[in-house]
Amino acid sequence: MRGLVMGRFQPFHLGHMALVTQAMAECDDIIIAVTSTQYNYLEKDPFTAGERIEMIRNALNESGIDPGRYMILGLENQHNVATWPAYIRAALPPFQRIYSGNPYVAMLLRDYGTEVAEPDMVDRERFNASVLRRMMADGGDWRERVPPAVARFVESVGGEERVRTILGSDTDPTRH
Amino acid sequence: MRGLVMGRFQPFHLGHMALVTQAMAECDDIIIAVTSTQYNYLEKDPFTAGERIEMIRNALNESGIDPGRYMILGLENQHNVATWPAYIRAALPPFQRIYSGNPYVAMLLRDYGTEVAEPDMVDRERFNASVLRRMMADGGDWRERVPPAVARFVESVGGEERVRTILGSDTDPTRH
Amino acid sequence: MRGLVMGRFQPFHLGHMALVTQAMAECDDIIIAVTSTQYNYLEKDPFTAGERIEMIRNALNESGIDPGRYMILGLENQHNVATWPAYIRAALPPFQRIYSGNPYVAMLLRDYGTEVAEPDMVDRERFNASVLRRMMADGGDWRERVPPAVARFVESVGGEERVRTILGSDTDPTRH
Amino acid sequence: MRGLVMGRFQPFHLGHMALVTQAMAECDDIIIAVTSTQYNYLEKDPFTAGERIEMIRNALNESGIDPGRYMILGLENQHNVATWPAYIRAALPPFQRIYSGNPYVAMLLRDYGTEVAEPDMVDRERFNASVLRRMMADGGDWRERVPPAVARFVESVGGEERVRTILGSDTDPTRH
Amino acid sequence: MRGLVMGRFQPFHLGHMALVTQAMAECDDIIIAVTSTQYNYLEKDPFTAGERIEMIRNALNESGIDPGRYMILGLENQHNVATWPAYIRAALPPFQRIYSGNPYVAMLLRDYGTEVAEPDMVDRERFNASVLRRMMADGGDWRERVPPAVARFVESVGGEERVRTILGSDTDPTRH
Amino acid sequence: MRGLVMGRFQPFHLGHMALVTQAMAECDDIIIAVTSTQYNYLEKDPFTAGERIEMIRNALNESGIDPGRYMILGLENQHNVATWPAYIRAALPPFQRIYSGNPYVAMLLRDYGTEVAEPDMVDRERFNASVLRRMMADGGDWRERVPPAVARFVESVGGEERVRTILGSDTDPTRH
């Protein structure tokens, strides 16, 4: 049984880590799919796909998780949502179970024979990527809410300054 | 004289039906163009293009409207608006008159020799697709504001639950 | 039971007409899907989607076919073929059977619960759109291989000269 | 040394003119890059790329600026921001210095060896394209904040009425 | 009267120069539109849009042509050809006459009120960009068929080696 | 030092395996990037991105290669080649060396500080994906030229029949 965990991971935090841990405990192996790979250097998407893959990889290595039991892969977003289940089936190796507490995702996958598993409770207030990005900009203590390897990686790419610069600008380069 | 009626029809309601009826009374035949065909399962666009075409077709059949006098066709949206008149000319069979109360549409088509006809007054508060979608989510009485065939079709695809799920989710899968 | 007949219809010829006739004899109603709607004024795609819809509509009217039993709709091509079955399901009203002699199409739809029906034999040498376009450019007798309404329509838009101009040019405006 | 001045120029106003003047005083020649060329007839982008190029050209001619010392060129927006520096390098002739007070732009170009020059102070309240568009719609005195040639050009294309029509419509044709 | 000269200019050669000269002699001013701007480092499109603009600019400067009488601008290709005339109208400042010996271009613009002017005869065998690219790869004497400034520019970007590398590779990075 | 090995891997064969082995011997860890992820069910691209990732994963597992020393990731193709180096930098975790015998790839990456390493000689006649696809269609002995795990995977998805069907069809669904 292969499980699928999806997210934008902007950044990858301890709530995501808990979900990965749960999925690995319940499945033979898992796919961690980084979504919205085409976006970066934006308010909601400051990190590139490559950076997100690297920070996840580093965090899992640091935790001593067996690299033979997961794959980290990317997914672009689709504007034609009805084709999204077919798109992820083509973009990813076979999987049988998806971890998602989002009824929207469950609805989309309902007719595709994918089992939808409920994530364990985490503190969603505390582990919230949007809040973390705001803390990065404001100099808050985001580091204690992410795996140490993620904190180090974000620092190595100047992530705090990047997020601060993006949030402080009224430029949306994807539009205007 | 062929008329053109356009809309997203999310869903097709009695206000749309009145416009179709007016256009058919004033033209030899009409094109009903479903716009934003590339969007679906979104807050403002819960139904697929195929579903919207089907609900319109069913509503017109139910009303006994002669199927030889209309065509239902789809149109994608264009981000380069200045090319939109050329796009619809290429995507649709020839037409001479467009029914639109929107001065924006009239402006875009001004230099293309298309006659712009004013729709008859309808109760825009009452027949408003955005309000209807909200009523679908909240269990309101949207059924009395759409043709019976549309109500049946929306039920057959689980439309209320779909809209409720979409509106209840903070996921915008086209973006994040 | 609703059937689906698909094609680029560049132009719609008597072989296509035979397929439509067969499908209408075997189904309650049919969808005629015009593919490659985004292409036009090209060597293999001289006519716009709107023109192709109009020529088919005219041909079916001329044949006295009940307009309540078919819909003519457009489909864009998808480069990600694995998502194509999902795309056509979202773009078109529900259908149960597809008429296609192409094993490729059958393969793509195999896992989607769509019945694939075999078209009756037609003379594929004679009814071949590529050959017809060549005849249009060269002044050959393409008219006898298309419904009279199609011949009239192609003439009304200057189709012979258009095809001759396109085939005589080495410009591929979609590329260079 | 060639400088680069970028903007959407919706419309080109006296603040932009001051920046162009500064850049021309400090460089051998400059590129004026009109961004978001794919957008037009929208709330934030009422004018087409061609119109914006024309209004800038007219304004610079009117000021007697040597046409041998500038080029006006267009740039589409990129949703993958990380590729934007590479995109503008491929789309534009070589340049060495960019005039931008936006730390976001400076951040993106940091690793590309482009010098980022600080624009001189202008009254950003007064010279603000968003405010000017609002004034166009409301009949305010936007003319005194743009070069006379821009005022004449905007009038020649019916710009006030266009902006008023767009702002008065709730249609976003790029989306719904 | 403003004229329009279009081409991919891969590279800009003396045949193109003759056309520009003719158009400038017959018009008040001209637009030189570089097409296929989105393609580069390809067999038929080795030079970027920015490089092509620069080489044309240099060639015209070298010839002492008044920079106040021309603009060099870029155009992306459109796959939906029927929208191409609308696209170029939106992308470029107003123009009244197009120089093109291609009946295909004349056909597309026929209904848009653009005058189509016939280019003077040039030796098309000799001034042929495809032949020049082949000569660049093979070490032939392409320099005498382009303006000296173009020869210098191509050398400055290592154009011969670039073309040789592209033509010697079986990689088409846009596809495989 | 992290190395990068790229390819379409349609399918992944023993020549690819040799390259992966070489790169892993010379680097600390490697990225295996599957290109052209957006294409599938086509003559040159029969397998989806997900299938290609799975077959590579299976082959490496079978060989006992340490899963902690490689990542398999996907890359879409870019038509604007000049932005390709920036695209892969954003899509992939950091890497320092690329294994490629293709001078074209070396040229593109020259100015990006990426070391280009020469692959060891392999029998390119024998290990050629195009030849292997032809053998799949014709019932040739392609199995001995791929890792056993790839042969098993291709069989499990009906790969021979798929390739035969695609090659036997004159349909190019991405175009017509």
**Angstroms from E102 CA to nearest CA on chain B:** 22
CB contact under 8 A, D36 and A175: yes
Q: In terms of Cα–Cα distance, which of A6, A26, A24, A25 is closest to A16?
A: A6
Residue D155 pLDDT grade (very low, low, confident, very high; cuts 50, 70, 90):
very high
Question: Does the pTM of the predicted model rise above 0.90?
Answer: yes
Task: Tell whether the model's pLDDT for residue C111 goes beyond 80.
Answer: no
Higher-pLDDT residue of B170 and E139 is E139
Q: Please tell me if residue D121 touches chain F, with a CB cutoff of 8 Å.
A: no
- Type and span of the H or E element at D154: helix D148-156
pLDDT value for C171: 64
What end-to-end distance do the CA atoms of chain A give, in Å? 45
pLDDT value for F171: 64
Separation CA D74–CA D87 (nearest Å): 12
Q: In one letter, which amino acid is E44?
A: K
**By the 8 A CB rule, do B79 and B38 touch?**
no
pLDDT value for F176: 41
Lookup: tokens for B81: 């608006």
**Angstroms from F41 CA to nearest CA on chain C:** 6
Residue D172 pLDDT grade (very low, low, confident, very high; cuts 50, 70, 90):
low
CB contact under 8 A, E8 and C176: yes
Task: Tell whether the model's pLDDT for residue B171 goes beyond 90.
Answer: no
Task: Tell whether the model's pLDDT for residue D55 goes beyond 50.
Answer: yes
Chain E neighbours among C 24-83 (CB < 8 Å)? 38-42, 48
Task: Please name the chains neighbouring C, where neighbouring means 3+ C-beta pairs under 8 angstroms.
Answer: A, B, E, F
CB contact under 8 A, F68 and A67: yes
Residue D176 pLDDT grade (very low, low, confident, very high; cuts 50, 70, 90):
very low
Residues of A whose CB is below 8 A from B47: none
> How many Cβ atoms are within 10 Å of A157's Cβ, its own excluded?
16
Pick from D82, D89, D90: CB nearest F90 = D82
Residues of B whose CB is below 8 A from E82: 86-87, 89-90
pLDDT tens digits for range A69-114: 999 999 999 889 999 999 999 999 999 999 988 889 888 987 778 8
Lookup: tokens for D134: 């609002």
pLDDT value for C114: 87
pLDDT tens digits for range B22-67: 999 999 999 999 999 999 999 999 999 999 999 999 999 999 999 9
Residue written as token pair 């030889």 = B68
- Whether A and E touch, i.e. at least 3 CB pairs below 8 A, reads as no
Q: Which residue of B has its CA nearest to A9?
A: B176
Task: Tell whether the model's pLDDT for residue C84 goes beyond 90.
Answer: yes
Higher-pLDDT residue of F75 and E110 is F75
pLDDT value for F172: 59
DSSP collapsed to 3 states, chain C:
CEEEEEECCCCCCHHHHHHHHHHHHHCCEEEEEECCCCCECECCECCCHHHHHHHHHHHHHHCCCCHHHEEEEECCCCCEHHHHHHHHHHHCCCCCEEECCCHHHHHHHHHHCCEEECCCCCCCCCCCHHHHHHHHHHCCCHHHHCCHHHHHHHHHCCHHHHHHHHHHCCCCCCCC
Task: Tell whether the model's pLDDT for residue C22 goes beyond 60.
Answer: yes
CB contact under 8 A, E80 and C168: no
pLDDT value for C103: 87
CB contact under 8 A, B42 and A107: no
pLDDT value for C125: 83
pLDDT tens digits for range E3-41: 999 999 999 999 999 999 999 999 999 999 999 999 999
Q: What angle do CA B140, B145, B146 make, to 5 degrees?
A: 110
CB contact under 8 A, F166 and C105: no
Pick from E82, E85, E87: CB nearest B80 = E87
Q: Domains along chain A?
A: 2-168 (3.40.50.620)
Lookup: tokens for C175: 């590329």
ipTM here:
0.93
Average pLDDT over residues A106-129: 86
Instruction: Determine what percent of chain A is predicted with pLDDT higher than 70.
Output: 96
Residue written as token pair 């821009």 = D150
Residues of D whose CB is below 8 A from E67: 66-68
pLDDT value for D171: 64
Task: Tell whether the model's pLDDT for residue E147 goes beyond 80.
Answer: yes
Residue F95 pLDDT grade (very low, low, confident, very high; cuts 50, 70, 90):
very high
